[in-house]
Amino acid sequence: MKKLLILFSALLITMTLSSQGNKNLAEMLGYPGDSKLLIIHADDMGLAHSVNMACINAFENKYITSGSIMVPCPWANEIAAYVKDHPGMDVGIHLTMTSEWDLYKWGGISPSDQIQSLLDKNNYFYPTVEELGKVAKGAEAEKELKAQIDRAIASGVQPTHLDTHMGSVLANPELVKIYLNLSEEYHLPILFPRAYLSWFQPDMAKSMESKIFLLDNLFMLEPKMITGKWIDAYKKGIETMKPGLNEMIVHIAYDNEEMKAITKGHDDYGSAWRQHDLDLVSSQEFKELLKTNHIILVSWRQIRDLMNAQASK
């Protein structure tokens, strides 16, 4: 009888562990398995004072659940100081290796002679991902990206995740590998849609499939999607959203003289665009859209903490 009880207990433990192992991300976070999880994420914190103020407003009013800082940008210190003084904010590092505006530029935070392949003749980052991908040396990119993460941490930011400005860490296979390695080194989830697994060899793709931070869907408004009211494209994205982990990227700022000057000549993701996005996430219509479609808002912090809890077992 005693042996039977021991065997029965062992079987129950095995079944419990197996059941836990079969849970999807939603269930591991305490939600129903078919939940539509959504991170509403604000890019480009630190780009400008206007962006910072809009993001702070959005965080305080729960219009967004996440944001990320462009460490090399002129206003990064302002938002980093705010994040330090407001623990619990869901803020990651917006890994930056491009500088796209015509009259408002930045380079790396590493000494320029140590990251020369990332910089143009004026020691600014290149304006496009394509230019970066052709010339970037992996060792120099890794040095700069680590410097950005380390500076944010040293300033008091406790990053919840890593993502990438303009997709710059995806500019070539070597940079993608560095991006994945940074996730392991800093124990942080990264923005990485599941669809990107098709880029890898089958064995590599298989090893990545178990990562709980993989996005099932990533939505970001593009110029070609704007055909009617600003909310229309977002409405379509929300109404067609599938169960799993989703992220919606917004670019928010106040349409003021600062942003107009920074984004001069660029309507796409420019000053007016960012005001439209801010108006969108703060609108009652958007809130009702989320509610009607049974969207559950989550943050990268929840995913980071779950990922690290699993790793410590």
* pLDDT category of residue 21 using cuts at 50, 70 and 90: low
d(CA 68, CA 228): 29
- What rounded mean pLDDT belongs to the chain? 92
- Residue 232: count other Cβ atoms within 10 Å of its Cβ: 12
pLDDT of residue 205: 83
In this predicted structure, what is the pLDDT of residue 10? 34
Residues 6+ apart with CB under 8 A from 196: 170
What is the reported pLDDT for 9?
34
CATH fold for the domain made of 32-311: TIM Barrel (3.20.20)
Burial of 71 (0-12, 13-18, 19+ CB in 10 A): buried
What confidence tens digit (pLDDT) does each residue in 91-142 have? 999 999 999 999 999 999 999 999 999 999 999 999 999 999 999 999 999 9
Judged by DSSP in three states, 38 sits in strand
CA atoms within 13 A on the CB side of 12: 6
Q: What confidence tens digit (pLDDT) does each residue in 255-308 have?
A: 999 999 999 999 999 999 999 999 999 999 999 999 999 999 999 999 999 999
Residue-wise pLDDT tens digits, 194-239: 999 988 878 778 878 889 999 999 999 999 999 999 999 999 999 9
On whether the CB atoms of residues 134 and 174 are closer than 8 A, the answer is: no
pLDDT, residue 88, reads: 92
Write down the pTM of the prediction. 0.92
Kindly tell me if the per-residue pLDDT of 33 is higher than 60: yes
